[in-house]
Amino acid sequence: MQVHYLEIVTPDVEAVCAAYARIHGVEFSEPEAALGNARTAALSGGGLVGVRAPMHEMEEPVVRPYCLVDDIDAAAQAATDAGAEIAHPPMEIPGHGKFAIFIQGGVHHGLWQA
C-alpha cells in the first residue's frame, strides 16, 4: 500500500504549509485549481501532500490519505463490499489520474489511480 496523495483540509492553509516547510524542509506550490486550490509539495516516494481550504461551509477539516490502486472501480467496489460508504465515486482529474473517497469506521479514506 502506497500513499500517492495526502490531502489536508484546513481553514488555515498558510500556517499548515509554513509548519510543514519548517519541519520537513519542503516547498509548497501556488494553489492548483485541479486539486481544489491545494498547495502541494512532494512526498518522498513520489506522491504529493496537498493543503487546501474547505470548498464549502459544511466541509470539516480532515487529513485524508489516498492510496494507489491499479483499478479504481474495482477498489471502490471492494470498499463497498467491505461495508464502506462511497462519499465520492471515481472521478478523473485531468493530468493527475482518478480518485474516489470512501468512509469506513467514521474515517475518510481515498483511492488514487495514476
Q: Where are the domains of the chain?
A: 1-62, 69-114
Sheet of strand 107-113, all strands in order from the earlier edge strand to the far edge: 39-42, 48-52, 3-9, 62-68, 107-113, 97-104, 85-93
pLDDT of residue 108: 95
Confidence category of residue 97, pLDDT binned at 50, 70, 90? very high
Instruction: Give percent above pLDDT 70 in the chain.
Output: 100
Assigned CATH for 69-114: 3.10.180.10
Task: Match domain 1-62 to its CATH number in 3.40.50.2000, 3.40.50.300, 3.10.180.10, 3.40.190.10.
Answer: 3.10.180.10
Lookup result for grid cell 483511492: 111
Confidence category of residue 29, pLDDT binned at 50, 70, 90? very high
Q: Is the pLDDT of residue 69 over 90?
A: yes
* Tally of CB atoms within 10 A around 26: 15
**Using one digit for the tens of pLDDT, what is the confidence trace for 49-66?**
999 999 999 999 999 999
State in Å, rounded, how far the first CA of the chain is from the last one.
Answer: 14
